[in-house]
């Protein structure tokens, strides 16, 4: 009787102990997962509030000496297009320029918003690196960029045929983003 | 005149205490509007520096946003309308104080839930440890009770023996 009871008691204790041993492991796993998620994402990149919304109303004058068209809301829609916000003083813009050119060569119209830039600097930059843009609007005081929710250059938007913003890249374009996200998205939008 | 001087001093005081990023040329002529602009600017996040308000930041975008806030205030817009305008473009992130809505309930209620959970655990723990000290340990099994009774019985008999033997 005594032995039986003792055995039962120690069994119960052991079960409680196992649970206690597992508790720190479980807590560790939860904390590790939370940290892995938190540390592997860049918290400074914000989701765009304008995703899946129509592009804002805007009208920009041209860069004097480039053309006389400028760039406005009316130029968007009809087919999928790209809008690239850039400036001659922006180093990552220079770095991503070949990729912007490549997107234009793939056959998708790329428009530019020239952010807080002097016309002569912008023209010199285009002359040096090439001008892949269909239309460029000159946003000298950065007001239109605020309408687009831009908080730094470069930023690149994909606008579908309805004129709705479907993708936004904050910061420099990379070959990987183009291969894995932008081009597949553009091709899919084109098929629709 | 004294009122004007007082409000001017007040503005200076506000300017000195907050809004290190606000530049003199941005300040509105109307002190009441400027005070509203400051109050609003303190609630808006600079998206470039991200942990400063637009009033505290020197970033060019913060200056642009301060200008928009002032233009809209001058145009007669309310604080709520200006916030809605900015949230539509930059999302809730532009508000330093997140709004209360289903997606942020965890943020707002979470700390109180955790505090409550901790309180419940502490209560249970304390009650259990107190009960353990008074009742649980003193609970005897059948066996122990009979053994105790036997021991006590022996003792009691042993103690009674001398008295019973000494009695006539």
Query: What residue ranges do the domains of chain A occupy?
Result: 1-40, 59-191
Please determine, for residue B164, whether its predicted confidence score (pLDDT) is greater than 50. no
User: Chain B residue with minimal CA distance to A141?
Assistant: B64
Q: What is the pLDDT of residue B76?
A: 94
Mutation target to probe the B interface, by most B beta carbons within 10 A, among A12, A53, A58, A149 is A149
User: Chain B residue with minimal CA distance to A3?
Assistant: B143
Nearest CA to A173 out of A75, A79, A70, A104 is that of A104
Contact B47 A46 (CB under 8 A): yes
- Overall average pLDDT of the B87-98 stretch: 90
Q: What is the pLDDT of residue A15?
A: 63
User: Chain B residue with minimal CA distance to A6?
Assistant: B141
Q: What is the pLDDT of residue A9?
A: 59
The number of CA neighbours under 13 Å toward the Cβ of A8 is: 5
Asked if the C-beta of B136 comes within 8 angstroms of chain A's C-beta atoms, the answer is no
Q: How many whole angstroms from its chain centre is CA A146?
A: 16
Which residues of B4-157 form beta strands (DSSP E)? none
Q: What is the pLDDT of residue B165?
A: 45
Contact A50 B48 (CB under 8 A): no
Low-confidence ranges of chain A (pLDDT < 70): 1-16, 43-44
Distance of residue B10 Cα from the nearest chain A Cα, in angstroms: 32
Contact A2 B60 (CB under 8 A): no
What pLDDT, in 10s, does the model give residues B49-67?
878 999 999 999 999 999 9
Please determine, for residue B19, whether its predicted confidence score (pLDDT) is greater than 90. no
- For residues A120 and A128, what is the distance between their CA atoms, to the nearest angstrom? 12
- Overall average pLDDT of the B154-158 stretch: 60
What pLDDT, in 10s, does the model give residues A9-24?
566 566 667 788 888 8
Is CATH 3.30.428.10 what the domain over A59-191 is classified as, yes or no?
Answer: no
Please determine, for residue B157, whether its predicted confidence score (pLDDT) is greater than 60. no
Nearest to A152 among B48, B64, B93 (CB): B48
Q: What is the pLDDT of residue A124?
A: 96
Cβ pairs A/B, distance under 8 A: 40
Q: Which CATH number applies to B2-99: 1.10.8.640, 3.30.530.20, 3.20.20.60, 3.40.640.10?
A: 1.10.8.640
The answer to whether B21 and B62 are in contact (CB under 8 A) is: yes
Please determine, for residue B80, whether its predicted confidence score (pLDDT) is greater than 90. yes
ipTM: 0.75
**Residues facing A167 on adjacent strands:** A158
Model pTM score = 0.71
Nearest CA to B22 out of B70, B54, B68, B61 is that of B54
Contacts of A116 in chain B (CB under 8 A): 60
Contacts of B143 in chain A (CB under 8 A): 1-2
Q: What is the pLDDT of residue B137?
A: 57
Give Dmax (Cα) for chain B: 118
- For residues B26 and B63, what is the distance between their CA atoms, to the nearest angstrom? 9
């Amino acid at each position: 009787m005594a032995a039986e009871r003792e055995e039962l008691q120690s069994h119960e204790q052991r079960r409680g102990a196992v649970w206690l041993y597992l508790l720190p492991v479980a807590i560790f796993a939860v904390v590790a997962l939370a940290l892995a998620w938190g540390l592997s994402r860049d918290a400074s990149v914000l989701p765009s509030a304008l995703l899946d919304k129509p592009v804002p109303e805007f009208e920009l004058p041209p860069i004097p000496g480039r053309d006389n068209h400028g760039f406005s809301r009316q130029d968007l829609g009809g087919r999928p297009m790209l809008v690239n916000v850039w400036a001659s003083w922006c180093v990552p813009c220079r770095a991503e320029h070949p990729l912007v050119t490549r997107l234009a060569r793939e056959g998708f119209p790329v428009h530019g918003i020239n952010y807080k830039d002097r016309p002569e600097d912008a023209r010199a930059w285009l002359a040096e690196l090439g001008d892949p843009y269909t239309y460029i609007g000159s946003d000298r005081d950065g007001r239109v960029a605020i309408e687009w929710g831009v908080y730094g250059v470069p930023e690149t938007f994909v606008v579908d045929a309805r004129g709705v913003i479907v993708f936004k890249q904050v910061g420099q374009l990379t070959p990987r983003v183009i291969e894995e996200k932008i081009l597949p998205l553009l091709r899919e939008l084109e098929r629709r | 005149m004294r009122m004007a001087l007082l409000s001017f001093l007040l503005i200076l005081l506000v300017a000195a205490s907050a809004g290190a990023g606000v530049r003199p040329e941005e300040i509105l002529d109307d002190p009441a509007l400027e005070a509203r602009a400051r109050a609003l600017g303190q609630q808006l996040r600079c998206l470039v520096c991200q942990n400063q308000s637009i009033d505290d930041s020197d970033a060019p975008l913060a200056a642009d946003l301060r200008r928009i806030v002032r233009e809209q205030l001058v145009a007669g817009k309310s604080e709520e309308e200006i916030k809605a305008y900015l949230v539509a473009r930059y999302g809730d992130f532009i508000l330093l104080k997140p709004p209360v809505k289903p997606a942020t309930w965890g943020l707002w209620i979470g700390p109180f839930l955790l505090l409550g959970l901790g309180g419940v655990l502490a209560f249970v723990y304390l009650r259990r440890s107190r009960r353990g000290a008074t009742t649980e340990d003193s609970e005897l099994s059948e066996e122990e009770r009979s053994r105790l009774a036997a021991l006590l019985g022996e003792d009691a008999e042993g103690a009674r023996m001398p008295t019973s033997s000494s009695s006539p």
